[in-house]
Amino acid sequence: MAITVRGGVLQGIDAIPIQVEVDLLRRLPAVCVVGLPANAVRESAERIRSAIQSAGLEFPRHRVVINLAPADVRKEGTALDLSMALGILAADGQVGEEAARSVLAIGELSLGGALRRVRGALSLALLARDLGVPLLLPAASAGEAALVEGAEVYGAPSLEATVAHLRRERLLPRAKAPALATQTFDVDLADVRGQALARRALEIAAAGGHHLLLMGPPGCGKSMLARRLPTILPPLRFAEAIETTRIHCAAGLGGSDPGLVRNRPFRAPHHSVTPAGLVGDRTLRPGEVSLAHHGVLFLDEATEFQRAALELLREPLEDGVVRLTRAAGTVEYPASITLVLASNPCPCGHRGSHHACQCSDGQVARYQRRLSGPLLDRIDLYVELQPVPAAELLAAPPGEPSQAVRERVIAARTRQHDRGQAVPNGRLDASDLDALVAPSAEARELLYMGVETHRLSGRAAHRLLKVARTLADLEGADTVGPRHITEAFAYRPLAGLP
């Protein structure tokens, strides 16, 4: 009679339950795994055989048939090793059937029987909690899984310890969540001297979740500014930290630290990144856009990125999600990001600076057209930077530190929350603008005049209004006034770029 043990695999950032059915047949000894297993799952047969024998247990001398249900879902990874091993032992009577099926068993086995760390421990703990069963997984992943409130988690170092626990011979201690680390930064906005307009734009981007384009010649501080944006963003809330950690674990970025991701992510892929690397590959692992969820995605030398890769950013910037459809299935990843683009003004990089530019007008136009109009239409803030002269740079005092700016950003975000907003201003739907932005009559008239004069799109007009709302929040004003509209226009190019 077949024995059923609970297992689970990741599909996107979510864990789905897998029924591991094991039957022992009186035929020539062999192991047959069915139910759409990937190669890593098929190869588990030899790992399981060696691990069982290394644990001092006996591998049954029968034909072992393992069915992974549902059979139409492809099973990737090595997390089913432990559940398959327990199913074999339960079918052979070496572990109690009821004990084996009463837990969600997850873990990769070594040949010596040790349990190795698995991806997605947080998601698996959420699954176990929803199923109402304890979670048994490698000790290296137990602290991470124990962060899920209400989950009963036990970490085992080996298959032998797991069997002893199920036999009630030597019970495993219940895993405890590690202490939450505080966010730390190795850079500070005080390092930036000069560039007052760019610093102001950075503060607005942080306060309202607005996308930003920094354009200027090499050496003017574009990368330096972008890398300091996370230092002025509000700290991650616990729910945000859980969601961010789940994405990083699904991508295999958990590392040896079992704690939550505490700093807002900052992802800066090289311009050679492929479209799959940016949004997700054929195995449905998250790409750079999702890894930057609740943080910053920085594309330096944006005009050097593949056009196809850049165009994939349109949906995440509008909807805050990435929808992947690949041969392995379809998943949806959250992708609520603040996008920062950095670009030179021309191919040689010196147009508009004190260095002589070698580019023709046609070359400059072709270079800037590498960023499409629809993508640029989704950018809220445009800043043109100039290099700070060396003498001024050396004589200038340190800039305002990140902590002081972050306090103003947190105050602005608090005002947005108090208005009933679930998202910052930059991510408001157009339908919410009338109820939440509240411009004065003079401000609305000024906005209409500017939109008509400069022939801006409806999306651009909405984004101007969102930036103005953030400016009012930073000032502590309840109503968007003409001065806020005027400053919002200052951050949008009215000639050249869209």
Q: Does pLDDT of 490 surpass 70?
A: yes
Q: How far is CA 270 from CA 282, 305, 309, 480, in A?
A: 20, 8, 12, 39
The residue with tokens 């630290």 is: 257
Distance (Å, rounded) from C-alpha 13 to C-alpha 293?
12
pLDDT at 328: 67
- Mean of the per-residue pLDDT values of the chain: 89
pLDDT at 66: 95
Read off the pLDDT of residues 347-378 as tens digits, 9 standing for 90 and up.
888 777 777 888 888 888 888 889 988 898 89
- Helix, strand or coil for residue 332? strand
* Paired tokens of 482: 């003409």
How much of the chain exceeds pLDDT 90, in percent? 60
pLDDT at 169: 94
Q: Does pLDDT of 57 surpass 90?
A: yes
Distance (Å, rounded) from C-alpha 93 to C-alpha 87?
10
Q: Does pLDDT of 436 surpass 80?
A: yes
pLDDT at 497: 47
- 383 within 8 A of 212, measured Cβ to Cβ: yes
**Of 268, 185, 272, whose CA–CA distance to 230 is shortest?**
185
Q: Which domains does the chain have, with CATH numbers?
A: 3-166 (3.30.230.10), 189-400 (3.40.50.300), 428-498 (1.10.8)
Give 87's pLDDT tier (boundaries 50, 70, 90).
Answer: very high
Task: Between 432 and 301, name the one with better pLDDT.
Answer: 301
- Between β-strands 115-116 and 108-109, what pairing exists: parallel, antiparallel or unpaired? antiparallel
Give 495's pLDDT tier (boundaries 50, 70, 90).
Answer: very low
Distance (Å, rounded) from C-alpha 368 to C-alpha 390?
28
Q: What is the CA radius of gyration of the chain?
A: 27
β partners of residue 155 = 137
pTM: 0.86
Q: Does pLDDT of 6 surpass 70?
A: yes
* Paired tokens of 80: 């089913």
Tell me the average pLDDT across 274-293. 90
- Of 70-74, 124-128, 425-429, highest mean pLDDT: 124-128
- Helix, strand or coil for residue 30? strand
pLDDT at 498: 42
pLDDT at 408: 96
Give 254's pLDDT tier (boundaries 50, 70, 90).
Answer: low
Tell me the average pLDDT across 89-108. 94
Q: How far is CA 233 from CA 69, 293, 337, 401, in A?
A: 44, 13, 12, 13
Q: Which residues of 10-42 are buried (b: 16+ CB within 10 A; e: fewer)?
A: bbbbbbebbbbbbbbeeeeeebebebebeebbe
pLDDT at 496: 44
Which residues make Cβ contacts (< 8 Å) with residue 236, sequence separation at least 6?
Answer: 183, 244, 261, 262, 263, 264, 294
Give 67's pLDDT tier (boundaries 50, 70, 90).
Answer: very high
Read off the pLDDT of residues 386-403 as tens digits, 9 standing for 90 and up.
887 777 777 777 889 999
Distance (Å, rounded) from C-alpha 49 to C-alpha 31?
9
Q: How far is CA 450 from CA 191, 201, 446, in A?
A: 36, 20, 6
From the CB of residue 2, how many other CB atoms can be counted at a distance below 10 Å? 12
Measured N-to-C along each axis, helices 44-54 and 159-166 cross at an angle, to the nearest 10 degrees, of 70
Amino acid at the residue 169 = E
pLDDT at 110: 95
Read off the pLDDT of residues 187-212 as tens digits, 9 standing for 90 and up.
999 988 888 899 999 999 999 999 99
- 241 within 8 A of 226, measured Cβ to Cβ: no
Tell me the average pLDDT across 135-141. 94
Tell me the average pLDDT across 419-425. 91
Task: Between 262 and 476, name the one with better pLDDT.
Answer: 476
Q: How far is CA 484 from CA 244, 406, 457, 487, in A?
A: 33, 21, 19, 5
pLDDT at 454: 83
